[in-house]
Structure 1
């Protein structure tokens, strides 16, 4: 929403063009570029001629930054990161991804994105969701889910729990087999990660009272999957949810070395 005059003022202030450069302003008018100039952060220098500068501004060749969204981040953590990196405003982003009952939790694909500053919440949400859809098609998420009797939504919920429970990639298929076996037997999932999701601030150790919190996300109280994902899982957690190890495991506990023991 920035007009050509403001852009020219900024160029003058930063000494990219001379003060009161009427030639530059006339050139913009002659070429009918008043509405074509894109606002943003550019790499420009005073040694560039007017047409080179205008070419960059019309094409919108802004500086882009690499932003990595870690696997297992919740919508709130993603919003905080994007806000800190000046890509999108936290509140606007959250309004878009958590609209009443509808949430994009689970579908904001963790990846490295190249975006300019002030890219805007709407654009980055669109980018992350379309990335998820692309990866879902490439890896046949929906077909694989149906083959094992799940919907894609259910698989993403399960993958989000696996993401939070298994720190090591090689354990994910085993953790997945525990949850699949429990679901088949009608047992409660009893996942600590779902309790941590309910709590505003995650705790080092959960106590008895935490396990009694009445929430549909409490898998110690309620059977089956929670109503939605508890984070945005990465590809290996989703693949683990789709391809559990063929074992009869029903339990896992944390061992001394930070790895799990399955039984």
Structure 2
């Protein structure tokens, strides 16, 4: 049975909760005496516990002292932005949305892009600070395991720039095997001084994605508008997975400058605008890297 011990609960209150949930007998003064004699009262930790009447008092006490709280698996999908992550964590009662978002954005900077998407095992009421530290620590470990910082230095990009590019690749790619090709398009455009013209950056500006962007959307004034401004946007537009980060670091060795979504859901890549027009099959879209 899942029993919740709220923060600040003292020994008598814990006994009352256990009695109420029929984990121990009523008027069980022995349990309070055991807590006092063991000198563990200060070590008892709040949270949810999986307890049973079959456990003896010492077993229950040890569980509470060791903090053997119930943990829940929560999966953060690749490509979620910080708001989506905060909403998911809030819904699962792991953190409070606003508290988490305040910590993600510090001053003019943000941890957007570094909230590593993965499956985490955490208790309820884990707290914004703990959750943020856990996700950043996970990113750091992934970075070490995959030598991301060394690889970024070899490309001539900063780690922030690589994560920003990876976040765009994450939102553009429909299939993992296309990521390095999409990366090659953006790398080639950056080298050529062309605008990235990524629809994913427009969707980020809009907040709520549209099924089809309109001409006016491409003219929204924002530093994230890669149709208006050359180079990378100021920061990541989501939190990319490791495949997208590797793709940003290791683009396919191709001369592609354009891609279009085909009828089968896969992208068709081209080296010239003329080719791109043919691939678009006569669609009346504005010239860009993605349509």
TM-score normalised over the length of structure 1: 0.98
Which of 241, 261, 270 does residue 234 from structure 1 map onto?
A: 241
Structure 1 residue 12, shift from structure 2 partner: 1.7
| Contact in 2 for aligned 1:176/1:245 (Cα 8 Å) | yes
1:247 equivalent in alignment to 2:271 = no
| Contact in 2 for aligned 1:3/1:35 (Cα 8 Å) | no
Instruction: Find the counterpart in structure 2 of residue 76 from structure 1.
Output: 83
1:158-169 alignment to 2 at 5 Å?
Answer: 158-169=165-176
| Contact in 2 for aligned 1:41/1:116 (Cα 8 Å) | yes
| Contact in 2 for aligned 1:108/1:129 (Cα 8 Å) | yes
Which of 4, 9, 26 does residue 3 from structure 1 map onto?
A: 9
1:101 equivalent in alignment to 2:125 = no
Partner Cα separation in structure 2 for residue 244 and residue 49 of structure 1:
60
Instruction: Find the counterpart in structure 1 of residue 286 from structure 2.
Output: none
Which structure 1 residue ranges, 5 or more long, are not aligned?
Answer: none
Instruction: Find the counterpart in structure 1 of residue 206 from structure 2.
Output: 199
Partner Cα separation in structure 1 for residue 215 and residue 243 of structure 2:
32
Partner Cα separation in structure 1 for residue 112 and residue 66 of structure 2:
34
Q: Where has structure 1 moved over 3 Å in runs of 4 or more?
A: none
Partner Cα separation in structure 2 for residue 29 and residue 3 of structure 1:
15
Which of 163, 173, 177 does residue 180 from structure 2 map onto?
A: 173
1:92 equivalent in alignment to 2:99 = yes
| Contact in 2 for aligned 1:189/1:224 (Cα 8 Å) | yes
Q: CA offsets, 1:122-153, max 9 Å, x none?
A: 11110000000000011011111111111111
How many residue pairs were aligned? 263
Partner Cα separation in structure 2 for residue 200 and residue 106 of structure 1:
16
1:32 equivalent in alignment to 2:34 = no
Partner Cα separation in structure 2 for residue 61 and residue 111 of structure 1:
23
Instruction: Find the counterpart in structure 1 of residue 149 from structure 2.
Output: 142
Partner Cα separation in structure 1 for residue 140 and residue 133 of structure 2:
11
Q: Secondary structure at the match of 2:210?
A: coil
Higher alpha-carbon Rg: 2
Instruction: Find the counterpart in structure 2 of residue 157 from structure 1.
Output: 164
Structure 1 residue 4, shift from structure 2 partner: 2.5
Partner Cα separation in structure 2 for residue 172 and residue 237 of structure 1:
6
Higher relative contact order (CA 8 A, sep 6+): 1
1:185 equivalent in alignment to 2:192 = yes
RMSD of aligned Cα (Å) = 0.9
Which of 41, 44, 54 does residue 51 from structure 2 map onto?
A: 44
| Contact in 2 for aligned 1:7/1:39 (Cα 8 Å) | no
Q: CA offsets, 1:166-200, max 9 Å, x none?
A: 01000000000000000001100000000000112
Q: Secondary structure at the match of 1:35?
A: helix
Which structure 2 residue ranges, 5 or more long, are not aligned?
Answer: 1-6, 271-291
Partner Cα separation in structure 1 for residue 252 and residue 168 of structure 2:
16
**Greater shift after overlay, 27-36 or 4-13?**
4-13
Structure 1 residue 99, shift from structure 2 partner: 2.6
| Contact in 2 for aligned 1:98/1:104 (Cα 8 Å) | yes
